[in-house]
A and B are shown apart, each in its own frame.
Chain A
């Protein structure tokens, strides 16, 4: 083979790879642009969250003053945006924490939700949110009893992950993702949470915004909470990128995946643990009661119009972003809870997708 022929083949192959990456049609290219923009915005938001956290780095770490300077510049840009957009909130750090958390959840929730929904495991998100609520209650008591200065969300995360593993073991023993173990853990964790909170109120002198955890709240996103979401987002995106093929195979045909010697139980546990992680992050803005919505509605919307699994992933992330940003804008402007606003915007898009879809008869099962 001559050098020229080889280089021509290489060019052709690289061109076809680029075409695969960018897509062949205008629709695919638009989706690619949307995903690229979302990725860039997410990186910017992770940068903001890191600066926010690094401001309080110990003196020996040196970075504190530089982080403070950069953080202030960011807020100045926010103030300029307020002037040009006619808003009055983008100059505040807590709003950006909220936006950053929302944007990152708007990526990872549909990412994980795509696998959950198509395995008919959608309600597991709701169950793990209730487990996380029990985790918040345990955290309140633990902090009150020990004086520990740790994060409440971290305790919720640990409890939720343990709950996820417990749920996985229970469903394995009952040999299905049936409703019964899900219903028991869902109501059981909520029951434990309410009992612990009522019992602990007498001696826990902490001012905990329980209503905020239930319905979501603008002020509930702390620096540590936003940082946790940023780190978990990086972890979840990396894990899905590495295990995309295996999770897809198991989602589509679990038995064939077992025959192909994939460790199905391990990937199932991984998926359910990632769900627990996403749920705890999303709980801050959506609240326990609405958290499953971000796992389900963007995916259900995308599935109405998508032509492939890859496109379902892309579209569900884009719908997630629109729902989060639209919902937050509405919540801030109307002074309403963000969780409800985000979910309502997502549902509007779902109804729109059904209206324009040619497969409205094949609704996705949500149990």
Chain B
């Protein structure tokens, strides 16, 4: 089986500022990869490169074995962007309308069919927000809104789910439920790439971690990550880790 994402010696710069330097890593299908690093370390840029949203200055990126820039099967990727809880701020759009967007890449300019609506209903039920389907999305809490975005990815029947700090502004309880949902989806075979600052969350839920700060400091399973000095190297020697537990 081809890897979901292959990053090979990729470098990318915004003008003079190098954001990602000579990074190589591979995300196998079924992986739950956590991307960690300090603010401004190039995590979001790396994710965008992985998804083909940006073209590397050098090196190459492949999605499911195809060059990321030429990858056409958009429905295979679900994406929850940074600060996605802000989306639909004043836009009167229902949860169902937002989740239905997951079917758009499948149908193109054709009309949605009965089967598409059934898949949307299934996705709403899977993330447990079927009762909120007719509510405006800006009436939902942060956690509920994130579930709606995950439902959109499920509606698109995505094989790869990419999430960029999805729980910013979400309360602790909803956050735990949200990560529990991601665990369930990963067990069902969906590959997940998650950008997250909270090491406790990462070590509990993901099975692989990539630690970056422009360069790649570690890529491997969570045990080898905790045993390595990657975190201290990426964040600077003075950086310490405080263990804590979520309520």
Contact = CB atoms under 8 A, between A and B. Distances in A.
Interface of A: 13, 118, 242-243, 245-246, 248-249, 251-253, 255-256, 258-262, 302-303, 306-312, 362-365
A255 B97 contact: no
B17 to A, nearest CB: 15
Nearest to B102: A260
A364 B90 contact: yes
A310 B96 CA distance: 12
A13 B114 contact: yes
A256 B53 CA distance: 10
Given A253-B84, A307-B136, A259 B53 contact: yes
A362 B104 contact: no
20 contacts: A13-B114, A243-B109, A245-B109, A246-B104, A251-B91, A252-B93, A252-B98, A252-B101, A253-B87, A256-B80, A260-B77, A261-B71, A261-B72, A261-B73, A261-B105, A262-B104, A303-B92, A309-B91, A312-B92, A362-B89
From B94, B97, B105, B138, name the one whose CB has the most chain A CB atoms within 10 angstroms: B105
A308 B90 contact: no
A9 to B, nearest CB: 10
- Interface pairs A-B: 5 shortest CB-CB: A261-B74, A260-B74, A259-B79, A260-B105, A306-B92
Contacts of B80: 256
Contacts of A259: 51, 53, 74, 77-79, 162
Interface of B: 51, 53, 71-75, 77-81, 84, 87-94, 97-98, 101, 104-105, 107, 109, 114, 134, 136, 138, 152, 156, 162
A256 B91 contact: no
B92 A308 contact: yes
B81 A260 contact: no
A235 B126 CA distance: 41
A179 to B, nearest CB: 19
B136 A308 contact: yes
A256 B79 contact: yes
Given A242-B109, A253-B84, A308-B136, A365 B98 contact: no
Nearest to A362: B90
Nearest to B105: A260
Contact of A256 (B73, B81, B107, B138): B81
A312 B92 CA distance: 7
Contacts of A13: 114
A281 to B, nearest CB: 25
A201 B154 CA distance: 63
Given A249-B101, A253-B87, A363-B90, 5 more contacts: A252-B87, A252-B98, A262-B74, A306-B92, A307-B134
A92 B95 CA distance: 49
Nearest to B95: A308
Contact of B92 (A245, A258, A309, A365): A309
Contacts of A258: 53
B48 to A, nearest CB: 9
From A302, A308, A312, name the one whose CB has the most chain B CB atoms within 10 angstroms: A308
Given A262-B74, A306-B92, A308-B94, A362 B162 contact: no
B71 A309 contact: no
Nearest to B162: A259
Contacts of A261: 71-74, 105
From A246, A256, A303, A308, name the one whose CB has the most chain B CB atoms within 10 angstroms: A256
Given A245-B104, A252-B101, A255-B53, A260 B156 contact: yes
Given A248-B101, A249-B101, A261-B105, A255 B94 contact: no
Nearest to A254: B81
Contacts of B101: 245, 248-249, 252-253, 256
A307 B93 CA distance: 7
B4 to A, nearest CB: 14
A220 B246 CA distance: 69
A118 B91 contact: yes
A307 B92 contact: yes
A303 B109 contact: no
Contact of A252 (B71, B79, B88, B109): B88
B81 A253 contact: yes
B44 to A, nearest CB: 10
Contacts of B74: 259-262
A253 B156 CA distance: 15
B140 to A, nearest CB: 14
A255 B81 contact: yes
A252 B93 CA distance: 9
Contacts of A302: 92
B106 to A, nearest CB: 10
B138 A362 contact: yes
Contacts of A311: 92
Contacts of B84: 253
